[in-house]
Amino acid sequence: MKIGVPKETVANERRVALTPDVAGRLAKSGLTVLVERAAGEAASFDDEAYRAAGATVVATPAEVFGQSDVVLKVQPPSSEETRLCREGIALVAVFQPSAEREAVSQLAARQVTAFSLALLPRITRAQAMDVLSSQATVAGYKAVLLAAVAAGRFFPMLVTAAGTLAPARVLVLGAGVSGLQAIATARRLGAVVSAFDVRPAVKEQVQSLGAKFLELEIGEHAEAAGGYAKQLSEETHRRELAFIAQHVKDADIVITTAAIPGQRAPVLITADAVRAMKPGALIVDLAVETGGNCELTEAGREVVRNGVLILGPLNLPSTVPYHASQMYARNISSFLSQLIKDGTLRLDFDDEIIRDTCVTHAGEVRKP
């Protein structure tokens, strides 16, 4: 069986789906690994490293898509890549079917069996495959570094000959994987950190990282299946906005990470709340790709509103391509262990991992 790894074609995407060490493990297991020339170059993995690991480097994407039985990608395939797919092959990437409807239709028309790792069930057996969590870890870390560079202040308290400088006050909204990593990173840099989440269950995790947990009695269950936050009632959300506004006005840096699977990100910081913030304060909105947690965020841009700098960074994991690719490759290798048995593609749709992640199969769209 041949596993193919094309070079990513989306603008500014620097990750690669397989790193040489993981490619080497697959090759030793008896699989043939085809890697497009320079596929890992942007992530600092050169062609020679893949060859040394036992992979075969090919010159064009057509060779990868035309010869492979399973193609591994980070981003969803472009129309051109879908046309290159040999009918009947399997493809693994990360995408939301509702946001990539044209690509899904094209994959079905080409008889491609497509899997999206964005749809992995939240079960213990799937933890090693959880690309959303691994890439969220990267995003949470990098968000704090962006804030440290853009902010006009130090993060730690400094005692100098010129006097003592107070530490930065950082507020993190959302205590999922990216939020917890943001908290940990800000604490490592010496900031005073507080965090808010509608799920009371995360309080202990926040406090274990040395941050203060801001509690709001919401009077309703805020956690959906799999541990994700769910949409709140209109009245509760109004109270939530007022509560958050009270705290962002005192923050030097706010990092927002709140998301609801399959829905627009909730607005947590209104324009009025931004107007009440201190001049020189900073917001890094990690939810910008699903609409943003701040009402004034603009995707891919840095804007200043009422003296507050608002960053809307896109695809942050790609800005740390070496380690983001390593984590992704390990996730996807774990997924392949469920998909490939004894060198053969085994599609057991009674297995919830296979069933939940399969988007197209046998010419049909399985995830409307």
Where helices occur in 189-305 by DSSP H, the ranges are: 203-208, 234-248, 271-275
Residue type, 87: E
Q: How far is CA 203 from the centre of its chain?
A: 22
Catalytic residue numbers, as ranges: 122, 127, 130, 133, 228
User: Which CA distances in Å does 162 have to 205, 279, 333?
Assistant: 37, 23, 54
Residue range 91-109, pLDDT digits in tens: 999 998 988 999 999 999 9
Q: What one-character-per-residue DSSP string does 117-141 give?
A: GGG--SSGGGGGG-HHHHHHHHHHH
User: CATH for 136-318?
Assistant: 3.40.50.720
Written as six digits, the tokens of 175 are 């205590």
> Rounded to an integer, what distance in angstroms lies between the CA atom of residue 90 and that of residue 345?
9
How deeply is 139 buried, as exposed, middle or buried, from its count of CB atoms within 10 A (0-12, 13-18, 19+)?
buried
Q: What is the pLDDT of residue 220?
A: 59
Q: What is the pLDDT of residue 99?
A: 85
Q: Where exactly does CATH 3.40.50.720 map onto the chain?
A: 2-119+322-360, 136-318
Residue range 38-67, pLDDT digits in tens: 999 999 999 999 999 999 999 999 999 999
Give residues with Cβ within 8 angstroms of 144, minimum separation 6.
Answer: 170, 182, 185, 186, 189, 255, 284
Residue range 250-259, pLDDT digits in tens: 999 999 999 8
Name the CATH architecture for the domain at 2-119+322-360: 3-Layer(aba) Sandwich (3.40)
Residue range 64-88, pLDDT digits in tens: 999 999 999 999 999 999 999 999 9
Per-residue confidence at 225, pLDDT binned at 50, 70, 90? Answer: low
**364 within 8 A of 358, measured Cβ to Cβ:** no
How deeply is 154 buried, as exposed, middle or buried, from its count of CB atoms within 10 A (0-12, 13-18, 19+)?
middle
Residue 356 phi, psi (nearest 5): -75, -30
